[in-house]
C-alpha cells in the first residue's frame, strides 16, 4: 500500500500549542541544567536576582505567545 504524505506550511491549532509548549519546556530544562552547573559550590543566591530572572523569563515566554497570536491573520 502506498501512502502519500502531504507537507503543508500550516499546523492545527492544537499542534501549534503543543509545539510552543514543548519548545518552551526544552528551553526551561536546558536553562535549569545551565543554572545547576553555575550554582555548584555557592552557598546562597540573592533573592532579587532570582525574582528578576523569573519575571524576565515569564514575560518573554508570555510575550512570545502573545506576539504569535497577534501576528496571525484573521482568516486563520
At 40-64, the pLDDT tens digits run 999 999 999 999 999 999 999 999 9
The pLDDT confidence band at residue 76, using thresholds 50, 70 and 90, is: low
Total tally of structural domains belonging to the chain: 1
Q: What is the pLDDT of residues 14-41, one digit of tens each?
A: 999 999 999 999 999 999 999 999 999 9
Whether 65 is covered by a domain: the verdict is yes
Whether 62 is covered by a domain: the verdict is yes
Whether 69 is covered by a domain: the verdict is yes
Query: For residue 23, which of 8, 11, 7, 37 has the smallest C-alpha distance?
Result: 11
Question: Residue 10 above 70 pLDDT?
Answer: yes
End-to-end C-alpha distance for the chain, whole angstroms: 34
Gap between the Cα atoms of 28 and 6, Å rounded: 32
- Taking CA atoms, 27 is separated from 18, 57, 65, 72, in Å, by 14, 11, 15, 24
pTM of the predicted structure, to 2 decimals: 0.76
Q: Residue 20: which residues within 8 A CB-CB, separation 6 or more?
A: 64, 65, 68
The whole domain housing 67 covers 48-76
Amino acid at each position: 500500500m502506498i501512502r502519500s504524505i502531504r507537507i503543508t506550511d500550516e499546523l492545527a491549532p492544537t499542534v501549534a500549542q503543543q509545539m510552543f509548549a514543548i519548545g518552551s519546556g526544552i528551553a526551561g530544562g536546558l536553562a535549569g541544567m545551565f543554572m545547576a552547573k553555575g550554582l555548584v559550590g555557592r552557598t546562597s543566591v540573592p533573592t532579587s536576582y532570582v525574582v528578576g530572572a523569573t519575571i524576565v523569563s515569564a514575560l518573554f515566554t508570555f510575550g512570545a505567545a502573545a506576539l504569535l497570536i497577534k501576528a496571525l491573520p484573521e482568516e486563520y
